[in-house]
Amino acid sequence: MKVMRLKILLLAWGLGFLALFGLLAFVAIFISNEEDSTGSDGLIGDGGSISVSADVLKHQPMVEKYAKEYGISEYVSTLLAIIQVESGGKLSDVMQSSESLGLPPNSLDTEASIQQGTKYFADLVRSAEASGVDGNAVTQAYNYGGAFIDYVAKRGKQYSFELAQSFAKERSGGSKVTYTNPIAVKKNGGWRYLYGNMFYVDLVSQYFTSPQFDDEIVQIVMDEALKYEGFPYVFGGDNPSTSFDCSGLTQWSYRKAGINLPRTAQQQYDVTEHISLSEAKPGDLVFFHSTYNSGTYVTHVGIYVGNNRMYNAGDPIGYADLTTAYWQKHLIGAGRIKQ
């Protein structure tokens, strides 16, 4: 879910977590998590690299099996990150999903835990899609329960830490508990409300890492663009204060690397060297037609990141799979910026 990447400043805590569970090292893996919605306004899955322990990684085949069964293959890395948070891959009930069945904690064996945890997460994804709620709310709801989806839906449909905090406050009656996790220390001075874990999105997100590119300019562009993953699409938006539309995001991100693009998708198409998608490299732009009635041929643009994937201002901002029927129907091709 969006969102959801390694917080560099918290890496030391992550290593400490490993030591607590007796883990010797993290294993960096790449899992292709691609959008499987039919349009640019669907719930976007997470993407990029994820650092999890070897004990968690060994559960990947079973996670993939049940993610496929329940139709959420694009969330495999999120599920693995949840395992890292819940058990470090060490306990039998690796996803701590017994309670979602009304059972006492640690009642399930490993496969039953993964099956139930994945099914529960899939149910939350469906609920979020129906309510128009973003992916981070789904991740928090894995800890809080499905009522959090409705809570966010009634308050702007976009997850925020403030919403997670207010939900916990209401459910706990304002009761607090000391909590020494560095995330809690950083955000709340070392306490949280006595209901669930209002830092759950941060705990899961810290295991995600930004994709790395060989080209320095592309890395600068993506480092900037990824700051806004999970932000809503805003027509006419061209800066972090307003959020972004598609060409506003590309213009803003490339400007950080010293490249000035014109404002609209059509104008950006006009100033690039037109190439086929098969020739595209990370950092090229990808263009689409007829995604809405704008009076121009080119109506949408994204940043190509390799492996038939792009990063774009959908709703919310995030990754998308260019091989899906929707994008193939509207694809024009790629464009290389002339320098």
Is 308 catalytic? The answer is no
Is 274 catalytic? The answer is no
Is 312 catalytic? The answer is yes
In single-letter form, the type of residue at position 234 comes to: V
As beta bridge partners, residue 238 has: 244
- Catalytic option among 59, 136, 143, 246: 246
Q: Which helix (H) or strand (E) holds 178?
A: strand 176-178
- Let me know: does 284 contact 335? Beta carbons within 8 Å: yes
Write down how long the chain is: 339
Q: For 134, list phi and psi in degrees, rounded to 5.
A: -80, 170
DSSP per-residue codes, 239-268: ETTTEE-HHHHHHHHHHTTT----SSHHHH
In single-letter form, the type of residue at position 210 comes to: S
CA Rg, the chain, in Å?
20
As beta bridge partners, residue 55 has: none
Q: In angstroms, how far is the first alpha carbon of the chain from the final one?
A: 35
Token output for 254:
């490339």
- Catalytic option among 181, 300, 307, 308: 300
Catalytic positions: 246, 300, 312
